[in-house]
Amino acid sequence: MVKINPDTLVFGIIGYPLSHSLSPIMHNKAFEYKGINAIYLYFPCKKIEGVVSGMKSLSIKGLSVTIPHKEKICEYLDEIEPIAEKIKAVNTLVNKGDLIVGYNTDAYGAIRALKDKTKELKEKKALIIGAGGAARAIAFALKEEKAYIIIANRTKHRGETLAKEIDAEFLPFSDIKKSEPDIIIQTTPVGMYPEVDKVPVFSEEIFRKRPLVMDIVYNPLETKFLKMAKKKGCEVIPGVEMFVYQGARQFEIWTGAEAPIQFMKDTVISFLKGEIR
Ligand code: ATR
């Protein structure tokens, strides 16, 4: 437990509901590890109208933003970094005195997790499963990397809309086996605890060319989708990688200090295994 004094910097997370967020344990442990006088709190919040002025008047240094506010909060910010502006969603707020600035570290986290396994994303064929907020961030980030993107989504209209926006190909789930991707990124909540036996697509043919497969679901640590991919000989990236990298980037934006990435990863994994509380 941090010793609180007048210099303690205050950070936190806004969203609703917040009970499942792992950001508080990850950031508080990281502050403690690095000896930074800071605390990270839960701010369950249904209405966001007062968030920006509240941050300024209470000197809250930074906030994570999660479901359902990542898009709506953009209307209230003083500045938004360019990639977040394109994505039209932010997951990180920084209090720069007179200005509250929004960032999207999900995009950064996804690319960094992928680049640990494949140095070059340029011209790689990337199949993104899903077309929601997380898919959007990853799709725009991959576009910046000049990957060739295919969006597959259950709801045609939503998938087509995102595909059009980033000049990508759209595939309905029924045609997904036609794709021969180098990389697959699973962005839907399917397979998340407690529904750990579910997968978003059933065709194992998508693993034919042994693509690199990333799932953004991090609880369980290895989803059924990743297990299927592994069985077919694919290299896999569990969701905890992207989660930790997006958090590490937040940590660095907020504190200016290097994030203890391995320590943050160990913390999240230990927590998910029930080894720490
Ligand atoms: P997030 O911000 O976490 O990405 P979201 O914006 O609600 O969440 O998007 C969820 C994504 O998961 C969508 O692509 C959704 O597909 P639809 O557009 O068809 O709703 C997808 N999704 C959610 N549940 C799904 C399921 N049971 N099977 C397949 N796709 C699912």
Say how many Å lie between the CA of residue 206 and the centre of ligand 1. Answer: 19
Query: Do 60 and 12 touch, CB atoms closer than 8 A?
Result: yes
pLDDT in tens, 200-215: 987 899 999 999 999 9
Check whether 2 has a pLDDT greater than 80: no
Query: Is 88 a pocket residue for ligand 1 (Cβ < 6 Å)?
Result: no
Scan for tokens 């029924």, then name that residue. 174
Residue 122 and residue 35: Cα distance in Å, rounded? 39
Find the catalytic residue in 34, 56, 70, 122: 70
User: What's the confidence (pLDDT) of residue 20?
Assistant: 85
Query: Do 72 and 46 touch, CB atoms closer than 8 A?
Result: no
Query: Of 145, 85, 270, 69, which is closest to residue 185 (Cα–Cα)?
Result: 145
Query: Is 133 a pocket residue for ligand 1 (Cβ < 6 Å)?
Result: yes
Residue identifier of the C-alpha nearest atom 20 of ligand 1: 155
Question: What strands lie across the sheet with 92-96, from one edge to the other?
Answer: 38-44, 9-15, 60-65, 92-96, 99-103, 79-80
Check whether 221 has a pLDDT greater than 70: yes
Count of other CB atoms within 10 angstroms of residue 256: 8
Say how many Å lie between the CA of residue 129 and the centre of ligand 1. Answer: 9
User: What's the confidence (pLDDT) of residue 83?
Assistant: 94
In the residue annotation, 231 being an active-site residue is answered as no
Max intra-chain CA distance, the chain: 60
pLDDT in tens, 25-59: 999 999 999 999 999 999 999 999 999 999 999 99
Say how many Å lie between the CA of residue 132 and the centre of ligand 1. Answer: 6
Query: Of 215, 214, 212, 172, which is closest to residue 192 (Cα–Cα)?
Result: 215
Residue 118 and residue 137: Cα distance in Å, rounded? 19
Query: Is 130 a pocket residue for ligand 1 (Cβ < 6 Å)?
Result: yes
Ligand 1 atom closest to the Cα of residue 188 is 12
Query: Is 155 a pocket residue for ligand 1 (Cβ < 6 Å)?
Result: yes
Query: Do 44 and 17 touch, CB atoms closer than 8 A?
Result: yes
Q: Average pLDDT over the chain, rounded to whole? A: 96
| Mean pLDDT score, 247-264 | 98
Residue 119 and residue 243: Cα distance in Å, rounded? 19
Say how many Å lie between the CA of residue 146 and the centre of ligand 1. Answer: 25
Query: Of 116, 169, 172, which is closest to residue 147 (Cα–Cα)?
Result: 169
**b/e map of 97-116 (b: 16 or more CB within 10 Å)?**
eeebbbbbbbbbbbbbbbee
Beta-carbon contacts of 15 under 8 Å, excluding residues fewer than 6 positions away, are 21, 44, 45, 64, 65, 66, 67, 68, 69
Query: Is 66 a pocket residue for ligand 1 (Cβ < 6 Å)?
Result: no
pLDDT in tens, 163-199: 999 999 999 999 999 999 999 999 999 999 999 999 9
Residue 79 and residue 259: Cα distance in Å, rounded? 24
Check whether 143 has a pLDDT greater than 90: yes
Angle formed at CA 271 by CA 267 and CA 272, multiple of 5 degrees: 120
pLDDT in tens, 79-123: 999 999 999 999 999 999 999 999 999 999 999 999 999 989 999
Say how many Å lie between the CA of residue 90 and the centre of ligand 1. Answer: 18
Residue identifier of the C-alpha nearest atom 13 of ligand 1: 132
Check whether 1 has a pLDDT greater than 70: no
Count of other CB atoms within 10 angstroms of residue 6: 4
pTM: 0.96
